[in-house]
Amino acid sequence: MKQLTLLLFLATFGSVLGQSNEGKLMPLQSYDDIFTRAGVVYIKSDSSLFSGKVWDWYDNKQTRSEWNYIGGIIHGVQRSWYKNGHRETEAKFKDGKPHGKRFEWYENGNKWNRSKYKNGFLHGRSLGWQENGILLYKKTYKENERIAGKCFNQEGKKIPCTP
């Protein structure tokens, strides 16, 4: 029973810790505790590569953003919120590059964009909406090149797509 309790404690406590490149467990970091050099994130206190989760807050203590890093490189889910608490972005990264779905919202909470990335490139369907919720475009990309698309005006009528 003690072993199960210890495992549950480690699983719970371990999920709120980061790890430096030396393998030491680190508490969650704020942006004040890290620095970036050439796109790589380091811990200020000892200049080691940072692995773990970084949080940033607004002055009112609401969460502004959350980033995950492995070996100083963004990896995993990144999220951000507007000051009013509505979601702003949610994106997945793999080895420092966008990889997977990316969602963006307007400050009023309505969807703005949904895109897919593969190894840093727009790849797959991308949808965009006007702030009032009307569909603005449906585009398909292959390695950042648009291969198909439909665009719409403020009334939702089909119009030619511009680059």
- List Cβ neighbours of 115 (8 Å cut-off, separation of 6 or more): 101, 102, 122, 124, 125, 126, 127, 141
Domain borders along the chain are 75-163
User: Does residue 156 contact residue 135 with C-beta atoms inside 8 Å?
Assistant: yes
> 3-state class of 41 per DSSP?
strand
Q: Which residue has the higher pLDDT, 18 or 52?
A: 52
- Map tokens 């909406």 to a residue: 129
Radius of gyration of the chain (CA): 20
Q: What is the pLDDT of residue 79?
A: 97
pLDDT band at 30 (very low <50, low <70, confident <90, very high): confident
Q: What H or E segment, with its residue span, contains residue 150?
A: strand 145-152
75-163: what fold? 2.20.110
Please, which pLDDT band fits residue 64 given cuts at 50, 70 and 90?
very high
Q: Count the neighbouring beta carbons within 10 Å of the beta carbon of residue 36.
A: 11
Q: What is the pLDDT of residue 161?
A: 87
How is residue 33 annotated by DSSP? G
pLDDT in tens, 84-134: 999 999 999 999 999 999 999 999 999 999 999 999 999 999 999 999 999
Q: Are strands 121-122 and 124-129 parallel, antiparallel or unpaired?
A: unpaired
- Provide the Cα torsion 83, 84, 87, 89; round to 10°: -30
Residue from 71, 25, 29 nearest 50 by CA: 71
